[in-house]
Structure 1
Amino acid sequence: MMPGRHPASFQAPPGLANRHVQTLLPRLLGCPSLELVREELPLPDGDVVELAWVAPAPTAASAPVFVLFHGLEGSVDSPYARHLLEAAHRQGCRALVMHFRGCGRRPNRRPRAYHSGDTADAHWLLTRLARRYPRAPRVACGVSLGANMLLKLPAEDADEAAGLVGAIAIAPPVDLAGCADTLNRGFARLYQRHLLASLKAKMAPRLAAGELPLALSPAALSGLATLRDYDDAVTAPLHGFADAADYYRRASAGPRLAELDLPTLILHAEDDPFMPPGMYDALSLGPGVRLETAPHGGHVGFVEGRRGRLGHWLPRRVVQQLDAWRTSLWPTSPRLASPD
């Protein structure tokens, strides 16, 4: 095993190791109910992002802040988000999710959306949190699209204004071109179809109302058949890229991993149906990166058998990492409970 690369502790239950079973099963297991406090964070360009905080918040000034960045078309209602936020809150963190533009309860204001390499809004949020909670260590966790974005953020944050003490990236698509091609093959096309339907449903009314600076008709939007087509016609022109290939090249976090010295945990399943095989084989890891790989787990699945029941490994592993960082990086913060 090369430096920085380690086997993950995840073990799939007998009969449930299939990549698609692992990917889909979390949606069938239910998720915790959370008391949420919503906040709109104004952005420098006049837009807003919606924050959802888990309540009640801890009272200690040094209680860690746990910021979650969701995946493509995700939200605080995504099962993984509920489980991760609940776990972090249970361990004494101020836990919140930042909804990317347009992923909250209302459409965003500006004629743009979000994408896998768009770090500006996350950076703005983290700098605001640093001012609001100056005594609290701040940890960020990203899932899928949000994980790729999070891996790019510290590499681009030359003055370390975001103030993170650690980052956790779950199933980051660090090779966006390879992932787009993978999602256009075999059974994975079903995931692509689901994501495309959500993206189109959100964009169609804005396009019809003339809110978007796109040379695209509603009929042409409806006819886009792949994520690469969508990124060519919508994502790239909305966000200043020449085309999908330019977007994938500039937004992929893979080439930036070698630069990371921030303590960073990456969790990856070798059978992830969203990812090309061997995605990390040719990538170099920076001194702060710990890549944990499991042979099974699907895409943000990692459903395990524990104490005779099916459960979620990801929250357990995240809590273990938070506790390890508490010991080594912020020993003055409140003691975190051991994961069950």
Structure 2
Amino acid sequence: MPLIASKYKPPLLFKNGHLSTIYAGVFRKVDALVQKRERITLPDSDFLDLDWSFGNLPSKKVTIILHGLEGNAQRPYIAGSAKQFNLHNIDVCAVNFRGCSGEANRLFRSYHSGATEDLEAVIQHILKTKDYQEIYLHGFSLGGNLALKYLGERQILHPAIKGAVAVSVPCDLHDSLQQLLLPKNALYAHRFKKRLLEKLHIKQELFPDKISITDISKIKNLKDFDDVYTSRAHGFKNALDYYTKASCLPFLKNISIPTLIINSKNDSFLGKECYPYKEAAENDHLFLEIPKYGGHVGFFGKDNTSYTEKRAVNFLFERNLKH
């Protein structure tokens, strides 16, 4: 589909991409969301914790929300999105990726940008144990890449899956990694690396035969982390092989349900390859919105409701009414 003209116009202060990103990630608070946790066992014996929230009335619709790198289901952008869906009487299943729910996962492997097998396990669990007729996907950053890859890599989707919205998506992981290694993103990269290394030290204690303290000492940046851990733990040759195979960009042409990507122009995490103009132009099911502002998952809105939270509900409802 042609590029969608964005209506996002933030206050002057939030036209700054870094300020938008930092405010949304560090200072924003979302209260009054009641979540109920459910733990499911995965086919490989590991587990995922799902945090459910519900509308006021029984619903036949559910949105699966996927967080970003080192996020969880309590982050403000997840909680804010869940509240908006619940207000429109759509239930929410907010997924905590492996090791992101406050407890280390059982295996040496963890989560990564292309681990669509875990999303498939969540969808199958919902289909087998719940009574929903319509399933929607909503992913942010890493979770957005995962959702889009899932939709594009499967020849047949379950008919209950009706639509998706992905926000601040690193469609080309290598391109995004190169941006994160630039000085402009040093603060974010340091924070990500710190959290990832904290978890990796726990992995080393649990699995000393798989990774050593010497291995960890070689990690100086995020690419090193993916070379030393992500690629080895998840069956890739190296970091570049991981970025190539896990990126959603090659799969976008195959998406067959209404899907919206919202990537801001001033997102410092995204390089030019992360804006899939060509793929959207050639796929009638793929909608691309590129607001001038917004930073990375930082779309400030009035009344503590972000632009993308309202936009996701709006897009999915509009498309649903037409199908």
Q: TM-score, normalised by structure 2?
A: 0.93
Structure 2: where are the runs of 5+ without partners? none
In structure 2, the partner of 1:327 is 321
How far residue 225 of structure 1 moved from its aligned partner, in angstroms, is 1.8
Contact 1:58 1:94 in 2 (8 A): no
SS of aligned partner of 1:242:
coil
How far residue 163 of structure 1 moved from its aligned partner, in angstroms, is 3.6
Change (3 A) 1:81 1:187: same
In structure 2, the partner of 1:96 is 93
Structure 1: where are the runs of 5+ without partners? 330-340
Change (3 A) 1:81 1:302: same
Contact 2:249 2:276 in 1 (8 A): no
Change (3 A) 1:148 1:77: same
Change (3 A) 1:281 1:135: closer
In structure 2, the partner of 1:338 is none
Contact 1:40 1:48 in 2 (8 A): yes
The yes-or-no answer on 1:17 pairing with 2:12 is no
In structure 1, the partner of 2:254 is 259
How far residue 249 of structure 1 moved from its aligned partner, in angstroms, is 0.5
Structure 1: 4+ residue segments shifted above 4 A: none
Q: Tell me the amino acid that sits aligned with residue 264 of structure 2.
A: A
SS of aligned partner of 2:290:
strand
In structure 2, the partner of 1:316 is 310
Whole-Å Cα distance in 1 between the matches of residues 92 and 294 of structure 2?
A: 25
Write 1 or 2 for the structure with the bigger share of helix: 2
In structure 1, the partner of 2:77 is 80
In structure 1, the partner of 2:47 is 48
Whole-Å Cα distance in 2 between the matches of residues 212 and 148 of structure 1?
A: 31
Whole-Å Cα distance in 2 between the matches of residues 7 and 212 of structure 1?
A: 53
In structure 1, the partner of 2:230 is 235
How far residue 311 of structure 1 moved from its aligned partner, in angstroms, is 4.7
Contact 1:208 1:218 in 2 (8 A): no
Residue correspondence of structure 1 range 181-220 to structure 2 within 5 A = 181-210=178-207, 213-214=210-211, 217-220=212-215
Aligned mate of 1:4, from 2, 5, 28: 2
Please give the per-residue CA displacement for 1:40-72, whole angstroms capped at 9, x wherever unaligned: 011111111000011567424x2x101101101
Aligned mate of 1:144, from 125, 138, 141: 141
Whole-Å Cα distance in 2 between the matches of residues 162 and 118 of structure 1?
A: 21
Range that drifts further, 112-121 or 15-24: 15-24
The yes-or-no answer on 1:273 pairing with 2:268 is yes
Contact 1:148 1:253 in 2 (8 A): yes
Range that drifts further, 7-16 or 279-288: 279-288
Whole-Å Cα distance in 1 between the matches of residues 209 and 155 of structure 2?
A: 32
Whole-Å Cα distance in 2 between the matches of residues 29 and 282 of structure 1?
A: 31
SS of aligned partner of 2:39:
strand
RMSD: 1.9
How far residue 139 of structure 1 moved from its aligned partner, in angstroms, is 0.4
In structure 2, the partner of 1:337 is none
Q: Tell me the amino acid that sits aligned with residue 28 of structure 1.
A: F
How many residues are aligned here?
Answer: 320
Whole-Å Cα distance in 2 between the matches of residues 117 and 8 of structure 1?
A: 28
Please give the per-residue CA displacement for 1:210-256, whole angstroms capped at 9, x wherever unaligned: 25623xx3254245121111101100000000000100011111111
Residue correspondence of structure 1 range 136-175 to structure 2 within 5 A = 136-161=133-158, 163-175=160-172
Change (3 A) 1:86 1:135: closer
Q: Tell me the amino acid that sits aligned with residue 226 of structure 2.
A: D
SS of aligned partner of 1:139:
strand
SS of aligned partner of 1:5:
coil
How far residue 289 of structure 1 moved from its aligned partner, in angstroms, is 0.4
SS of aligned partner of 2:274:
coil
Whole-Å Cα distance in 2 between the matches of residues 100 and 162 of structure 1?
A: 25
In structure 2, the partner of 1:334 is none
In structure 2, the partner of 1:124 is 121
Whole-Å Cα distance in 1 between the matches of residues 294 and 42 of structure 2?
A: 36
Range that drifts further, 44-53 or 270-279: 270-279
- The share of aligned pairs that are identical, in percent, is 28
Whole-Å Cα distance in 1 between the matches of residues 159 and 320 of structure 2?
A: 19
Residue correspondence of structure 1 range 288-307 to structure 2 within 5 A = 288-304=285-301, 306=302
Q: Tell me the amino acid that sits aligned with residue 43 of structure 2.
A: P
Contact 2:14 2:294 in 1 (8 A): no
Change (3 A) 1:326 1:11: same
Whole-Å Cα distance in 2 between the matches of residues 244 and 132 of structure 1?
A: 37
